[in-house]
Structure 1
Amino acid sequence: MAGRLVNALGSAALAAESFSDLATLRHMLRFEAALAQATADAGLIPRRAAPIIVKACDPALYDAAALAEAARRTATLTVPLVKALTEAVARRDAAAAGYVHWGATSQDVIDTAMVLQLGEALPPVLKELDAIVAAFAGLARKHRRTPMLGRTLLQPATPLALGQKIAGWASDIARATRRLEASFEETQVLQFGGASGSLSALGEKAERVMVSLAKRLKLDLPAAPWFAQRVRVAALAQDAALVVGALAKAARDISLMMQVELGEAAEPSGPGRGGSSTMPHKRNPVGAALVLSAAARAPMLAATIVAALPQEHERALGGWQAEWPTLAALVEALASATQAMHEVASGLSFDADAMQANMDATEAAVLAERATFLLAARMGKQKAGKLVEEALARSAESGGSFVEALGRLETELADEAALLGYSPRFVDRLLAELKRR
Structure 2
Amino acid sequence: MAASTVFDSFLFRDMFGTPDMRAVFNDQSFVDAVVRTEVALATAQARVGVIPQEAAEEIAASCDSALLNRERLRVDTENVGYPVLPIVRQLAEQCGASGGFLHWGATTQDVMDTAMMLQCSAALGLVETQLDRLRACLRDLAAAHIDTITAGRTHLQHALPITFGYRVAVWLSALDRHADRLAAVRERDLMVQFGGAAGTLASLGSEGLRVRAELAAELGLRDPEITWHVARDGLVEIVGLLASIGGSAGKIGADVALLCSTEFGELAEPFAPGRGASSTMPQKRNPISSELVVAAAKLLRDKASAMLDAMVQDFERATGPWHVEWAVLPEAFLLLSSSLAQTTHLIAGLRVNEDRMRANLGLTGGLVMAEAVMMALAPALGRQQAHELVYAACSRVIDSGSDLATELQAHPVVAETLGAERIERLCDPATYLGSAHAMTRSVVDAQS
In structure 1, the residue matched to 2:108 is 106
In structure 2, the residue matched to 1:230 is 232
In structure 1, the residue matched to 2:197 is 195
Map Cα deviations across residues 406-426 of structure 1 (whole Å, 9 max, x no partner).
325542224444232332222
Q: In the alignment, is the contact (CA less than 8 A) between 1:176 and 1:246 conserved in 2?
A: no
Determine the C-alpha separation between the residues in 2 that align with 1:374 and 1:64: 76
Range with greater deviation from structure 2 (49-58 or 303-312): 49-58
In structure 2, the residue matched to 1:9 is 15
Q: In the alignment, is the contact (CA less than 8 A) between 1:228 and 1:315 conserved in 2?
A: yes
Is 1:39 aligned with 2:45?
A: yes
CA 1:383–1:207: 2 relative to 1, 3 Å: closer
Superposed counterparts of 1:79-94, under 5 Å:
79-89=85-95, 93=96
3-state SS of paired residue (1:261): coil
Superposed counterparts of 1:206-217, under 5 Å:
206-217=208-219
Offset of residue 392 of structure 1: 2.6
One-letter identity of the residue aligned with 2:83? L
3-state SS of paired residue (2:191): coil
**Which residue of 376, 379, 400 maps to 2:381?**
379
CA 1:395–1:44: 2 relative to 1, 3 Å: closer
In structure 2, the residue matched to 1:245 is 247
Superposed counterparts of 1:100-249, under 5 Å:
100-249=102-251
One-letter identity of the residue aligned with 1:22? Q
Determine the C-alpha separation between the residues in 1 that align with 2:288 and 2:336: 16
**Which residue of 440, 443, 446 maps to 1:427?**
440
State the TM-score, normalizing by the size of structure 1. Answer: 0.91
Q: In the alignment, is the contact (CA less than 8 A) between 1:15 and 1:122 conserved in 2?
A: no
Determine the C-alpha separation between the residues in 2 that align with 1:63 and 1:340: 38
Determine the C-alpha separation between the residues in 1 that align with 2:391 and 2:206: 84
In structure 1, the residue matched to 2:412 is none
Determine the C-alpha separation between the residues in 1 that align with 2:268 and 2:245: 23
One-letter identity of the residue aligned with 1:331? F
In structure 2, the residue matched to 1:24 is 30
Is 1:76 aligned with 2:82?
A: yes
Determine the C-alpha separation between the residues in 2 that align with 1:313 and 1:224: 15
In structure 1, the residue matched to 2:297 is 295
Determine the C-alpha separation between the residues in 1 that align with 2:156 and 2:283: 26
**Which residue of 411, 425, 431 maps to 2:424?**
411
Determine the C-alpha separation between the residues in 1 that align with 2:408 and 2:208: 84
3-state SS of paired residue (1:316): coil
3-state SS of paired residue (2:124): helix
**Which residue of 306, 310, 313 maps to 1:311?**
313
3-state SS of paired residue (1:15): helix
> After TM superposition, where is structure 1 displaced by more than 4 Å over at least 4 residues in a row?
63-66
In structure 2, the residue matched to 1:349 is 351
CA 1:371–1:60: 2 relative to 1, 3 Å: same
Range with greater deviation from structure 2 (313-322 or 51-60): 51-60
Q: In the alignment, is the contact (CA less than 8 A) between 1:33 and 1:57 conserved in 2?
A: yes
Q: In the alignment, is the contact (CA less than 8 A) between 1:177 and 1:243 conserved in 2?
A: no
Superposed counterparts of 1:312-327, under 5 Å:
312-327=314-329
CA 1:377–1:204: 2 relative to 1, 3 Å: closer
Structure 2: stretches of 5+ with no match in the other structure: 410-414
One-letter identity of the residue aligned with 2:44? A
Offset of residue 69 of structure 1: 4.5
Q: In the alignment, is the contact (CA less than 8 A) between 1:214 and 1:221 conserved in 2?
A: yes
Offset of residue 427 of structure 1: 1.6
3-state SS of paired residue (2:59): helix
Offset of residue 271 of structure 1: 4.4
Q: In the alignment, is the contact (CA less than 8 A) between 1:308 and 1:323 conserved in 2?
A: yes
Pairwise CA RMSD: 2.3
Map Cα deviations across residues 64-116 of structure 1 (whole Å, 9 max, x no partner).
45534533433322122222323444xxx2x2332221111101110000110
Map Cα deviations across residues 188-226 of structure 1 (whole Å, 9 max, x no partner).
221111111222222344344333322222222222322
Range with greater deviation from structure 2 (80-89 or 22-31): 80-89
Offset of residue 336 of structure 1: 1.2
In structure 1, the residue matched to 2:368 is 366
CA 1:69–1:290: 2 relative to 1, 3 Å: farther
Map Cα deviations across residues 28-86 of structure 1 (whole Å, 9 max, x no partner).
11111122233344444344433443344322223445534533433322122222323
State the TM-score, normalizing by the size of structure 2. Answer: 0.89
CA 1:100–1:418: 2 relative to 1, 3 Å: same
